[in-house]
Amino acid sequence: MAKMFNKSEYTLATLAGIFSVLIWSTTIAYSKSVMQTEGNYNAMFLIYFFSGFVILGMLWLWQRKELLVKWKKLSLQFYLKIGIFLFINNVLLYIAIGLASNEDELLIVAIINYLWPIITYVIKVPMFRLKPKLFLFILSIILAVTGVVMALYQSYSLPQFLNLIQSAGTNFWAYLLTLLTAVSWGIYSNLIKKYNTDDDMAALPVIFIISGLFFLFYQLFNGQFSLSVFHSLFTNHELLYMIVGPTSMGYLFWYIAMKKGNKNLVISLSFLIPVFSILFISLKYSKEINIFFWFAAFLLIAGAYLSYKAVPEVK
């Protein structure tokens, strides 16, 4: 009976991980939609601030005693040395999404954002002094960069892209901030390993609430905050989905899968997020996707998978 229960728990935890991959894939499409209705910074505040409390509530119901112990172990140094990179990731990603002015730019943001697996492994190799399978590792980087270049090529010729960099318009900043988002996630996930703080779930509600407060203070500083934004919590279904779905349940279900499910299967499926993300953008905005965007996504997936195979696990 115990074995049957454990097998059932293992299966449910794995399904939770698969679900987290799917709902994470909707983040860019639906967060942009919420920004269009609520305003960029109001949406960012509402999503992160209230998702922090949703995660806190779920953790409190699930593991109240363990949560208090974990909070005591997570010192201020954790937030200053490690948590700060998740905060940066939160802030930059949503600013980048807000800066994307059309669906093509949103697709490019989605593609660049999913450089994070490659960047994570690129950072991991020197940080942990690992010896990757050099040919596979270099090939993975080439494939990922080619994917990003292919995505950019759909919207810009080389002269246009050089002008884009020179003029430093909003689309340039959207792409640059997205790249920095991927870098910050790579640093964060490696530091978690380096300092043996794999069980960092307890820190998420704190970091998310602080991320939300950052956007709130920005709005207050610019005199653009109104209490009327809270009304959207009762009327905007997409906002509620972003709070409860990708930004809360996505992280919690991933955590459950990593602890109790088929970790390798879920991680492998997570490499498909670029394709799912493009698919959800296409469905959400009724946009026909150029085939080269799909090729770009598959190159990213191939690069991520090869880097996963090329770089040994941290012992």
Confidence of residue 197 (pLDDT cuts 50, 70, 90): low
Lowest mean pLDDT among 146-150, 165-169, 226-230, 244-248: 165-169
pLDDT at 155: 63
Maximum Cα interatomic distance, the chain, rounded to a whole number of Å: 67
Residue 163 pLDDT grade (very low, low, confident, very high; cuts 50, 70, 90): low
Q: What is the pLDDT of residue 160?
A: 58
Residue 13 pLDDT greater than 80, yes or no = yes
Over residues 142-161, mean pLDDT: 75
| Predicted pLDDT of residue 212 | 93
Assess whether pLDDT exceeds 90 at residue 123.
yes
Sign for the CA dihedral angle at 108, 98, 250, 181 comes to positive
Average the pLDDT over 197-220 and give the result: 85
pLDDT digits (tens, 9 = 90+) for 215-233: 999 888 887 777 878 888 8
Say how far apart CA 98 and CA 174 lie, in whole Å.
8
54-68, pLDDT tens digit by residue? 999 888 887 777 777
pLDDT band at 124 (very low <50, low <70, confident <90, very high): very high
Angle, CA of 42, 43 and 49, to the nearest 5°: 90
For the ranges 59-73, 83-97, 122-136, 204-218, the lowest mean pLDDT is seen at: 59-73
Would you state the pLDDT for residue 158? 62
Question: Under a CB-based contact definition with an 8 Å cutoff, are residues 60 and 131 in contact?
Answer: no
Compute the distance between CA of residue 272 and CA of residue 22 in angstroms, rounded to an integer.
Answer: 9
Confidence of residue 170 (pLDDT cuts 50, 70, 90): low
Residue with tokens 């140094």: 77
More confident residue, 239 or 150: 239
- pLDDT value, residue 187: 93
Pick 129 or 202 by higher pLDDT.
Answer: 129
Res 4 pLDDT > 50: no
pLDDT at 129 over 80: yes
Whole-number mean pLDDT of the chain? 85
pLDDT of the residue at 225? 75
**Is 152 a residue whose pLDDT tops 80?**
no
Taking the alpha carbons of 188, 29, 176, 220 in that order, is the dihedral positive or negative?
negative
Nearest to 79 by CA among 183, 195, 182, 218: 195
What CA–CA distance (Å, rounded) separates 315 from 309? Answer: 15
Secondary structure string (H, E, C) spanning the chain: CHHHHHHHHHHHHHHHHHHHHHHHCCHHHHHHHHHHHHCHHHHHHHHHHHHHHHHHHHHHHHHHHHHHHHHHHCCHHHHHHHHHHHHHHHHHHHHHHHHCCCHHHHHHHHHHHCCHHHHHHHHHHHHHCCCCCHHHHHHHHHHHHHHHHHHHHCCCCHHHHHHHHHHCCHHHHHHHHHHHHHHHHHHHHHHHHHCCCCCCHHHHHHHHHHHHHHHHHHHHHCCCCCHHHHHHHHHCHHHHHHHHHHHHHHHHHHHHHHHHCCHHHHHHHHCCHHHHHHHHHHHHHCCCCCHHHHHHHHHHHHHHHHHHHHCCCCC
Lowest mean pLDDT among 106-110, 195-199, 206-210: 195-199
Global confidence as pTM: 0.86
Instruction: Provide the residue ranges of all domains of the chain, joining segments of one domain with +.
Output: 19-310
Judge whether residue 168 has pLDDT over 60. no
